[in-house]
A and B are shown apart, each in its own frame.
Chain A
């Protein structure tokens, strides 16, 4: 199709009732010229026809009928009609809609589709139309079974005349074959075989719905790679990634393999052996695709090569064994792409995924293509925009850190061809970014539950009997430990006060100023007074406590020593202040303080030892 120079417009194709066959509108149209080019170079048959339609009547015509034989109509994978208006430049881009095919002809032989025109064709006017039909599974291997060294021959049945509900004035058809090796071809009037092309026509004044069946028998060694089922899962994570997983059930749809398979022949004489088989597949992945893997049920398949540049990522992979006719292989291909390449926000606040629909492989037919779009948890109102007919379904998927599950949009397309693979489709949905916090909060809740469990464990008692001796002992022990800790705390406060006072005494020795020392003394005295009450209470508790007998002597000694220590420190302070106020010589001061100091130091050490001893 030469779209470049022509104006294109879109059409909806409708299924037409058979009554159109005899409708007056149909009778008035005449096809002045039909050029048909049939591409048979691969496993897929592509028929491109350019039609010059003239309205020979006087009434306006708003739709044009387009027909296919029922045999072919069942195998239609893709159907498109493009209006070519004059020779002006492109004004708008066309969109194509593929319709669901159901037989609807009057005699079960012909099926009609109708092409709605954007504006009616007036009487006497003419227009140019291009139709494009893609058929799958119409090339029949003959012979049906071949050995390893045989070439694959296929049959193709068509009509030499363009099948149309309108009379055709001039028409010609060209069949393009993959090689010049043609076993046979039917001859209808003017028929020529030129190199690898078979040309039929021109034929003049062919009646409506006239056929001239022809059969082409030729060599076609192209890989007949048929994916019986492809499940393509696209999982969106708003944390910045899209996972694509493609599960393939691949088979060779050509002539079945007969006899044994010799890997030696296959590898030593690749030109003659297994010409119709294939061992490589080339997947075209999006740019920035990363974390690509290729595996099957057994594990990783290492025979793959990945090349990437800024425009695309290419993955060449080899199945575990070369595929001959009828052989099958299953594998999984997966990769990740960055979210920002495919995820967009539309002007109405909805988010949408814009990604290609079909398989990554260029030349495969997919019999059953299932695309699953796994939306993030918390997304609502998914709507799909696909430019051709698909079955829609919904499910829920549970994966990592999910609570209510993720909504999944399931799209099923039968008979998908490479024409579908590059088509982008959109899934619109509403999503609040706060919902992204659901996953971390689930983790936080999990950890918190663990902490709560730990807290509960240490707080609750799990005795068989609350009155048992061991439990009572345990409780008493706990009480005692608590008392000791409280005692140690109070001791700590007292000790700190003592340390501060001592520090201020050293300052006096350095500066000779006794005022700050007096202040320090006052605060220390206050602290001691306060804490002495606590100590008294604690000491009483120790006496009351049932199991304190073995710590009680230690505690008493400690309290005693502590008291002495405080007294000594107070004496020392008084002596020091007095000495400095009387401005005695440093020798005298030292002489006065030294005994006090040594006593205080020993007491302090003893107290400290006792506090530590209590821990045991």
Chain B
């Protein structure tokens, strides 16, 4: 019954295109390391600022900006770390 495979396995190649990952998978380790390092450095600066600045002179906007940017880096970094380790979400 080889014919069965031939019938249903053959797709018209001109009508369809294969879909892969939007980002080359070989870049995942690089992106994970880069984004996580950036995220952790920003996180460190966030906490240094929190710990050293006096209560009345702290700027809320600066806190949110540092926190927001570092969470962006950490979030995407963690995603690529997961993908790199084989946990495809």
Interface residues of chain A, those whose CB is within 8 Å of chain B, are: 1, 3, 8, 93-96, 132, 237-241, 243, 291, 336, 338-341, 343-347, 351-352, 354, 387, 399-401, 419, 422-425, 433, 436, 439-448, 450-452, 454-455, 458-459, 478-479, 481-482, 485-486
Are B15 and A458 in contact, with the CB atoms below 8 A? no
Q: Given A291-B86, A401-B89, A451-B71, does the pair A240, B20 have CB atoms closer than 8 Å?
A: yes
Min CB distance A533 to B, Å, is 19
Chain B residues near A341: list those with CB within 8 A: 18
Decide: A451 and B68 in contact? CB cutoff 8 A.
yes
Give the distance in Å from the alpha carbon of A95 to the alpha carbon of B71 in the complex: 54
Given A239-B89, A423-B8, A454-B47, 19 more A-B residue pairs with CB atoms under 8 Å apart are A1-B3, A238-B21, A240-B21, A240-B88, A243-B88, A351-B19, A387-B8, A422-B4, A424-B9, A433-B22, A439-B79, A442-B75, A443-B75, A443-B76, A443-B78, A447-B74, A451-B67, A459-B60, A479-B56
With A347-B15, A419-B4, A455-B60 known to touch, is A440 a contact of B67 (CB < 8 Å)?
no
CB distance from B17 to the nearest CB of A (A): 5
Give every chain A residue within 8 A of B48 (Cβ-Cβ): none
10 sampled A-B residue pairs with Cβ under 8 A: A3-B3, A96-B4, A343-B18, A354-B11, A424-B8, A424-B9, A436-B22, A447-B70, A451-B71, A485-B57
- Docked complex Cα distance between A414 and B1 (Å): 20
Name the CB-closest residue of B to A341.
Answer: B18
B interface: dominant SS: helix
Known contacts being A336-B86, A448-B71, A451-B68, is A443 close to B79, with CB within 8 Å? Answer: yes
B55 near A482: Cβ-Cβ < 8 Å: yes
Nearest CB of B to A549, in Å: 19
Task: List, in ascending order, chain B residues with CB within 8 A of A479's CB.
Answer: 56
Question: Closest CB of chain A to B56's CB: distance in Å?
Answer: 4
Give the size of the chain B interface in residues (CB under 8 angstroms). Answer: 49
CA–CA, A445 and B3, complex, Å: 52
**Residues of B at under 8 Å CB distance from A?**
1, 3-11, 15-22, 25, 39, 46-47, 50, 53-58, 60, 63-64, 66-68, 70-72, 74-76, 78-79, 82-83, 86-89
A444 and B71 contacting across the interface, CB-CB below 8 Å: yes
| Nearest CB in chain A to that of B14: its residue | A347
Counting from the closest, the 4 A-B pairs by CB-CB distance are A451-B67, A444-B75, A240-B21, A447-B71
Give, as a whole number of angstroms, the nearest-CB distance from B89 to chain A.
5
Q: Which residues of A contact B7 (CB under 8 A)?
A: 93-95, 387
B55's closest neighbor in chain A, by CB? Answer: A478
Q: Nearest-CB distance from B47 to chain A (Å)?
A: 8
Cβ contacts under 8 Å, A451 to chain B: 46, 63-64, 66-68, 70-71
| Shortest Cβ gap from B22 to chain A (Å) | 7
